[in-house]
């Protein structure tokens, strides 16, 4: 089975291809990268392609200093231990690029917020924090 992936190593698709079809032919047709996988399946959520080799994703070890924050727009909680760089997505809407390994979170509206980090070499992680 062929595994299609982007330049960052994120798996895009798997396909059988035609008998005798080569990696070069697939890359020309689809204008992206391919690697051969002897297995019949690929765990997309826990696997990525690193330098042309399928590898298990690492677990994120990031932790919050608190999961609650005062909804005053000033108080912050911090998620530290993130990969550098990475992207955090807040409530599936706001994208924040983290360049120093820590995400500072504040809110001015009382609510429950979802924070997702889905970096290619790491298992996707989602946290829920509350502002009140």
pLDDT interval class at 56 (50, 70, 90): very high
| pTM of the predicted protein model | 0.85
Evaluate if residue 13 carries a pLDDT over 90: yes
Reduced to 3 states (helix: H, G, I; strand: E, B; else coil), residue 25 is helix
Give yes or no for a contact between 97 and 119, defined as CB atoms under 8 angstroms apart: no
Rounded CA-CA distance 26/63 in Å is 41
Q: What would the CATH number be for the domain defined by 63-131?
A: 2.60.40
Give residue 40's pLDDT.
80
Mean pLDDT across the stretch 2-10?
96
Give yes or no for a contact between 87 and 96, defined as CB atoms under 8 angstroms apart: yes
Evaluate if residue 53 carries a pLDDT over 90: yes
Give residue 18's pLDDT.
87
Return residue ranges of the chain for CATH 2.60.40: 63-131
């Amino acid at each position: 089975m062929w595994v299609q992936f982007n330049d960052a190593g994120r798996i895009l698709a798997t396909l059988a291809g035609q008998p005798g079809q080569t990696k070069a032919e697939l890359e020309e047709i689809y204008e992206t990268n391919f690697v051969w996988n002897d297995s019949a399946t690929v765990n997309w959520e826990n696997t990525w392609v690193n330098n042309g080799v399928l590898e298990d994703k690492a677990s994120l070890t990031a932790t919050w200093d608190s999961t609650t924050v005062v909804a005053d727009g000033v108080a912050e909680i911090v998620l530290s231990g993130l990969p550098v760089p990475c992207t955090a997505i807040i409530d599936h809407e706001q994208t924040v690029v983290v360049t120093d390994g820590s995400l500072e979170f504040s809110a001015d509206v009382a609510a429950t917020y979802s924070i997702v980090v889905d970096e290619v070499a790491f298992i996707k992680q989602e946290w829920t924090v509350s502002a009140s």
